[in-house]
């Protein structure tokens, strides 16, 4: 009887030892993998936000000695405010999301964009984030460049026609919702071709860049200015008054500001191919067509056509003028 019991106890103890050995072996395997892997890996206690463990690849990437990185508060690495990190952390804890984009600060102060693949592991009795980090800074920059090429004019950095059409839809939707008027302006430079023909394309480019900057200075943050192409620019004014006459006056004030600002002399640096640069003073004006609308039944094409027609009326009436479309009023 006692002999049987001793055998059973021995069997249980043997099994327990086997389990402990297996666990130790598995932990040793994990650590070997963790230490030798070329991917950046962090184990973070998500309660205290302390980096419990980091591998040599992480130390190399972040630029801290391993013994400093281990035990460091992860908020020293996070370059974003806690208010942005907190909701992400909660999603990782409940397993709703496991891939995140963060800005991480290296020891030398440089900010890198990283993609963190996070899973929850139990390690030495604690629940930890096991985070595998990929540096995606260059990829994000390329994506940003592609986005810029698709939506922004390369010369002036203003939104292009594509982005403007989208913004105009938003302006129309806002007007439909709140009953406030909005305005669309078509701005075309007068005799711009002469500048290109006289001083070269480079001088023309400089003027277009300056025009873009002056246009931006004439509008509010909620308005949009874009380059439609060539020497043609467009402006959308948002949230003008609900009263038609008031909205017309507001649009006229902005159009007049644009007209006078653009007609101020331009200092252009020509002959940029050589090291010397001759500065010329150039005068250029613009013809402006305006359509003021409260979005009910109008479609974008009509608005653009009306503003365009008004702009041509201004050109035909002698240039450097503002003309209002009255079709939709």
Site residues (CB under 6 A) for ligand GTP?
155, 188-193, 196, 201, 204-205, 208, 230-231, 315
- Which residue is listed with tokens 């206690």? 45
CB of 145 to ligand GTP, least distance (A): 20
User: Cβ closer to ligand GTP: 53 or 190?
Assistant: 190
Is the Cβ of residue 71 or residue 229 nearer to ligand GTP in the bound state? Answer: 229
Q: List beta partners, residue 78.
A: 104
Choose among 217, 201, 196, 307: nearest CA to 262: 217
Q: Which is nearer to ligand GTP, 178 or 194 (CB)?
A: 194
Residue nearest to ligand GTP (CB): 204
Q: Are 142 and 153 spatial neighbours (Cβ–Cβ below 8 Å)?
A: no
Q: Which is nearer to ligand GTP, 68 or 270 (CB)?
A: 270
Task: Provide, rounded to whole angstroms, the least separation between the CB of residue 237 and ligand GTP.
Answer: 23
Min CB(255)–ligand GTP separation in Å: 17
208 φ/ψ angles, rounded to the nearest 5 degrees: -60, -40
Residue 156 or 175 with smaller CB distance to ligand GTP: 156
Nearest to 321 by CA among 252, 266, 229, 227: 252
For residue 281, the SS3 value is: strand
Minimum distance from residue 205 beta carbon to ligand GTP (Å): 5
78 or 196: whose CB is closer to ligand GTP? Answer: 196
Shortest distance in whole angstroms from residue 182 CB to ligand GTP: 25
The kind and range of the H/E element at 119 are strand 111-123
Query: Could you tell me the CA-to-CA distances from 190 to 204, 269, 322 in Å, in that order?
Result: 12, 20, 13
Shorter beta-carbon distance to ligand GTP: residue 58 or 195: 195
Cα 169 to Cα 31, 92, 139, 166, 299: the distances in Å are 56, 37, 31, 5, 9
Rounded least distance, CB 298 to ligand GTP, Å? 26
- Closest approach, Cβ 232 to ligand GTP, in A, equals 7
Q: Which is nearer to ligand GTP, 24 or 193 (CB)?
A: 193
CB of 197 to ligand GTP, least distance (A): 7
- C-alpha dihedral sign at 69, 70, 76, 82: positive
Alpha helix (H) residue ranges in the chain: 2-36, 56-62, 66-69, 82-93, 137-151, 161-178, 192-199, 201-218, 244-263, 300-316
Distance separating alpha carbons of residues 226 and 162, to the nearest angstrom: 9
């Amino acid at each position: 009887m006692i002999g049987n019991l001793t055998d059973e106890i021995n069997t249980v103890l043997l099994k327990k030892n086997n389990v402990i050995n297996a666990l130790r072996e598995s932990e040793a395997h994990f650590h070997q993998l963790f230490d030798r892997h070329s991917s950046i890996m962090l184990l973070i206690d998500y309660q205290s936000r302390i980096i419990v463990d980091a591998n040599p690849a992480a130390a190399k990437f972040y630029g801290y000695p391993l013994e400093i990185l281990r035990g460091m508060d992860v908020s020293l690495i996070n370059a974003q405010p806690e208010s942005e990190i907190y909701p992400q952390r909660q999603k990782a804890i409940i397993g709703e999301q496991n891939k995140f984009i963060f800005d991480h600060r290296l020891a030398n102060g440089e900010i890198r964009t990283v993609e963190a693949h996070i899973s929850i592991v139990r390690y030495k009795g604690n629940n930890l984030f096991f985070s595998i980090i990929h540096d995606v800074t260059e990829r994000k920059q390329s994506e940003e460049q592609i986005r810029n090429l698709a939506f922004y004019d390369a010369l002036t950095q203003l939104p292009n026609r594509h982005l403007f059409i989208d913004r105009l839809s938003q302006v129309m939707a806002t007007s439909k919702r709140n009953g406030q008027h909005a305005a669309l302006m078509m701005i075309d430079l007068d005799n711009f071709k002469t500048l290109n023909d006289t001083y070269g394309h480079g001088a023309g480019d400089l003027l277009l860049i300056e025009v873009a900057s002056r246009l931006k200075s004439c509008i509010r943050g909620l308005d949009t200015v874009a380059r439609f192409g060539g020497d043609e620019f467009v402006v959308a004014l948002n949230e003008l008054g609900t009263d038609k006459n008031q909205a017309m006056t507001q649009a006229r004030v902005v159009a007049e500001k644009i007209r006078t600002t653009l007609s101020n002399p331009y200092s252009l640096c020509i002959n940029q191919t050589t090291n010397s640069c001759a500065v010329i003073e150039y005068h250029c004006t613009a013809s402006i067509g305006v359509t003021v609308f409260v979005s009910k039944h109008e479609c974008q094409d009509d608005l653009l056509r009306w503003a365009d027609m008004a702009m041509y009326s201004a050109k035909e009436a002698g240039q450097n003028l503002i003309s209002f479309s009255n079709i939709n009023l």
